[in-house]
Amino acid sequence: MTDPNTTHLAGPDEKTTVLPETAVALVEMERLQQELAASEERAKNHWEQYLRALADVENVRKRAAKDLESTRQFAVEKFAQDLIGVKDSLELATANSAKADLSSLVEGQHATQRLLTKAFEKAQIEEINPAQGEPFNPELHEAMMTQPSQAPANSVLAVIQRGYQLNGRLLRPARVVVAAPPN
């Protein structure tokens, strides 16, 4: 008697029987192979997306570096253009110094100083010029010497050379004379 759950594949001279457990295993293997192929396709897509994202990040990094360099160069260029006017003013004063009177030379110096001050303001360069009696600040001031005085100790007596800062960053400290207690 033949089992109804058995498939018979007949060759010319032989008969093959496939057991139900084997058929289930074959179906399961086929399903797993399909899942594997789908997983491999997803992995391939994810790898390609990763490579594209990596390339995008590298492009953004290069673009940012280029933009930063361009911005730095543009800022220096703008400041340099402002300084050209100051240089022109100084050259004009030097060229006319032999034939100009003292008052016109002084006025020319004041005009040049105004041009330079305006260029510094545009570049956000701030002057550090402590007032007499102001407390000594080692972050902004450099003590060139101390001098006994009736002024409060560690206060500024005189400014030898003004300091400068750019956007809050010290370029050069103000060089000052600092009060010491009287002997």
Characterize the bridge pairing of strands 169-172 and 141-148.
unpaired
Q: Say what the pLDDT of residue 11 is.
A: 53
d(CA 86, CA 116): 6
Model pTM score: 0.59
Q: Say what the pLDDT of residue 176 is.
A: 97
Taking residue 100's Cβ as centre, other Cβ atoms within 10 Å add up to: 15
152: number of CA atoms within 13 Å, CB side? 8
d(CA 147, CA 142): 14
pLDDT band at 1 (very low <50, low <70, confident <90, very high): very low
Location of structure tokens 């800062």: 165
Average pLDDT over all residues of the chain: 87
Q: Say what the pLDDT of residue 24 is.
A: 84
Residues recorded for the chain: 183
Chain segment 20-40, per-residue pLDDT in tens: 778 888 889 999 999 999 999
**Rounded to an integer, what is the distance from CA 85 to the centroid of its chain?**
30
Transcribe 156-178 into DSSP letters: EEEEEE-EEEETTEEEEPEEEEE
Look at residue 170 and give its three-state secondary structure. Answer: strand
What phi, psi does 157 have (nearest 5°)? Answer: -95, -40
Share of the chain above pLDDT 90, in %: 58
Determine whether 155 is exposed, middle or buried from the number of CB atoms within 10 Å of its CB (0-12, 13-18, 19+): middle
Chain segment 65-83, per-residue pLDDT in tens: 999 988 887 878 888 888 8
Residue-range domains of the chain with CATH: 1-123 (no CATH), 126-183 (2.30.22.10)
pLDDT at 172 > cutoff 50: yes
pLDDT band at 92 (very low <50, low <70, confident <90, very high): confident
